[in-house]
Amino acid sequence: MFTRVVLQRFSPQIVALLKGAYLSAIWIIWHFRNRWIFEGFKPQIASAIVLLWAFIIEMSGLVLGPMSNSIFDLICLRKLQVKGNIRLALMMHAVRWHPPLPSWMKVNTDGCAYGAPGRCVAAGVYRNCRGFFTGCFIQKIDVGFAFQEELMATIFAIERAYRRG
């Protein structure tokens, strides 16, 4: 019961890695115990950990389950030095570009921030009613949030379009 509740928090990829690590740890304990009993070999904890780590990294290539697209899974997999099996999109939507009315222009804007708050950039691309590229802009902002940059890109695009007529 406890195991089921704990494992529900993890993605299928991490659950498979945890189960494999658990079974590998049991085998490693059994292996070192037998070597100690039958060969007189004194096991070292460090060598057991290195062996378990090697098993986890080798298992990562065999695990087929996807990771959840969450920062928690990404951190767990990075700590284990394992590449994530990214889950594919559940549904895809076709997006079509519709031209504006004659003598109008369309602008596609975007803003982004590296961090929260972080270095920011706002950018946009102008197209005419026939879909031809008519101009673009990019504006660097020192520090802010992504939402602020989205708004700044829109405001800058409107101001620039107004000035151009």
Q: List the chain domain ranges.
A: 8-79, 106-164
Pairing of strands 118-127, 106-115: antiparallel
Q: What is the pLDDT of residue 5?
A: 57
Q: What is the mean pLDDT of residues 32-54?
A: 88
pLDDT of 57-86, one tens digit each?
888 877 777 887 777 888 888 887 888 877
Q: What is the pLDDT of residue 62?
A: 79
What pLDDT does residue 26 have? 93
pLDDT digits over 135-152, tens only? Answer: 888 888 777 777 777 888
pLDDT band at 4 (very low <50, low <70, confident <90, very high): low
As given in the structure block, the two tokens for residue 71 are 């920062």
- Taking only the tens place, the pLDDT of each residue in 104-127 is 888 888 887 777 777 788 888 988
Instruction: Choose between 148 and 34: higher pLDDT.
Output: 34
pLDDT band of 29, cuts 50, 70, 90: very high
Residue 7's pLDDT band (cuts 50, 70, 90):
low
Confidence category of residue 30, pLDDT binned at 50, 70, 90: very high
- Residue 126 makes CB contacts below 8 A (sequence gap 6+) with 105, 106, 107, 133, 134, 135, 136, 157, 161
pLDDT value for 89:
67
**CATH assignment, 106-164:** 3.30.420.10
pLDDT of 108 reads: 87
Q: In angstroms, rounded to a whole number, what is the distance separating the alpha carbons of residues 75 and 5?
A: 21
H or E stretch at 157: helix 146-164
Give the pLDDT score at 3.
Answer: 63
